[in-house]
Amino acid sequence: MSTSPCGDDGVVLKIRVESPQPPLRAARFWMLRREDRLSPAIPRPFSLYRQQGDELEFLIKVMGAGTKALAACTPGTKLRAIGPLGNGWPTLDGEGDMWVMLAGGIGSAPFWMGVEQALAGMDGRAPCPPSKLAILYGAATKGLLYDLEGFKGLGVRVETCTMDGSHGLKGHVLQLLEDLQRRGELPHKVRLLACGPERMLEAVEEHARASGLPCWLSLETMMGCGVGICNGCPVPTLPDGPMGAWSNAKCCVEGPVFSIECVTMGS
Ligand SMILES: Cc1cc2nc3c(=O)[nH]c(=O)nc-3n(C[C@H](O)[C@H](O)[C@H](O)COP(=O)(O)OP(=O)(O)OC[C@H]3O[C@@H](n4cnc5c(N)ncnc54)[C@H](O)[C@@H]3O)c2cc1C
Ligand code: FES
């Protein structure tokens, strides 16, 4: 186990889990807490950032008691890690329209392996060519574009924006998308994947619906158990969509990735 600082307020937490892990799908997640009393009793959910066998990495933004305790882990700290949980990104094939990954701050975490797996070929499909993938990475300020240099090294196009103009375009990720499309640097017909703050995901959903674009959101709802028992992670479904038989889906077991054909962020 080790931690290393990342960005203004983040850490990369590396752990080794006891059970052997097959290659895990990007955007699946784990519930983590320390075994000692420093962590709150309820574990916290984190997307898998990187994997090498049973060695897992998580990119964690320090927010409150749970993330502070994890960031303060030292070699030998015992963790309770429940996972892998949830579904992960859809098959990122290279056959249809380009995939554009919209990452908001710490919402970049599930995209690292998403890029790697798309480039390697997923679910028996041909590898996605690098030209058919782009990451549009936005944050409030430069220091919250976590591991930007690492993302740039993945071999796909990475464009940035910040609300204060300290890196890349001044503005949010949808403005960046529209700017690149207006300049002819990205096609208008793309497939969107998004992870980030709730307000960003609401705006992405609205944009995708208005533009008729396929779109998947990786949602970060509150979670209690992570395994479908506590009903603490409801996501409203669309009554006419494929999940409409129930008014809510459980983010932890049916997500965290949802197509906007199935659920809505809008209230
Ligand atoms: C599927 C999923 C994947 C996630 N992946 C990452 C990731 O890769 N990196 C990362 O830094 N964060 C990720 N998060 C968010 C992370 O779980 C919260 O930031 C963390 O739980 C905050 O805990 P805390 O005790 O430090 O903060 P608290 O003081 O408890 O709360 C701070 C903020 O976090 C929210 N929060 C608190 N508990 C939870 C909870 N159990 N579930 C969701 N939100 C909560 C609160 O609404 C509040 O806004 C993910 C969340 C989900 C659901
Ligand atoms: S977190 Fe308990 S049901 Fe989803």
Shared domain check, 57 and 166: no
Q: Last residue of a domain, which of 178, 197, 220?
A: 220
Confidence band, pLDDT 50/70/90 cuts, at residue 267: low
Q: Are residues 108 and 177 in the same domain?
A: yes
Whole-number percent of the chain with pLDDT over 90:
99
Average pLDDT value for residue range 225-234: 97
- Distance from Cα 60 to the centre of ligand 1, integer Å: 9
Taking the centre of ligand 1 as the mean of its atom positions, its distance from the CA of residue 64, in whole angstroms, is 9
Where in the sequence is the domain holding 189, given as residue range(s)?
98-220
Give yes or no: residues 24 and 68 share one domain: yes
For helices 173-182 and 198-211, angle between their N-to-C axes, nearest 10 degrees: 30
Q: pLDDT tens digits, residue range 18-51?
A: 999 999 999 999 999 999 999 999 999 999 999 9
110 and 182 part of one domain: yes
Confidence label for 99 from pLDDT (cuts 50, 70 and 90)? very high
Mutate-to-test residue for ligand 1 from 47, 57, 63, 199, highest number of ligand atoms within 8 A of CB: 63
- Which pLDDT belongs to residue 181? 98
Cα of 194 from ligand 2 centre, angstroms:
21
Identify whether residues 75 and 125 lie together within a single domain.
no
Please determine, for residue 85, whether its predicted confidence score (pLDDT) is greater than 70: yes
Greater confidence (90 vs 266) lies with 90
Question: Are residues 216 and 104 located together in one domain of the fold?
Answer: yes
252 lines ligand 2 (CB under 6 A): yes
Residue 131 buriedness (CB in 10 A; 0-12 / 13-18 / 19+):
exposed
pLDDT at 223: 98
Q: Which of left, alpha, beta for 101 (phi over 0: left; psi -120 to 50: alpha)? A: beta
Query: Tens digit of pLDDT for each residue in 102-133?
Result: 999 999 999 999 999 999 999 999 999 999 99
User: Whose C-alpha lies nearest to ligand 1, atom 25?
Assistant: 66
Contact 218, 194 (CB under 8 A): yes
Ligand closest to the CA atom of residue 66: 1
Report if residue 243 sits inside a domain.
no
pTM (two decimals)? 0.97
Per-residue exposure over 74-88, b if at least 16 CB sit within 10 Å of its own CB, e if not: eeebebebebbbbbb
Pocket test for ligand 1, best of 46, 82, 146, 195 (most atoms within 8 A of CB): 46
130 part of a folded domain = yes
Closest CA to 146 of 108, 102, 117: 108
Q: How far is the CA of 183 from the centre of ligand 1 (A)?
A: 36
Is residue 238 one of the residues assigned to a domain? no
Question: Is residue 52 scored above 90 in pLDDT?
Answer: yes
Structure tokens at 176: 């960046």
Domain count, the chain: 2
226 lines ligand 2 (CB under 6 A): yes
Is residue 249 a part of any domain in this protein? no
Dist. CA 129–CA 203, nearest whole Å: 28
* pLDDT of res. 138: 98
196: CATH:
3.40.50.80
Identify whether 248 is part of a domain.
no
Q: What is the CATH number of the domain that holds 50?
A: 2.40.30.10
The mean pLDDT value for 44-63 works out to 98
Nearest to 228 by CA among 71, 25, 23, 86: 86
pLDDT for res 266: 79
Distance 121 CA to ligand 1 centre (A): 30
**pLDDT (0 to 100) of residue 115:** 98
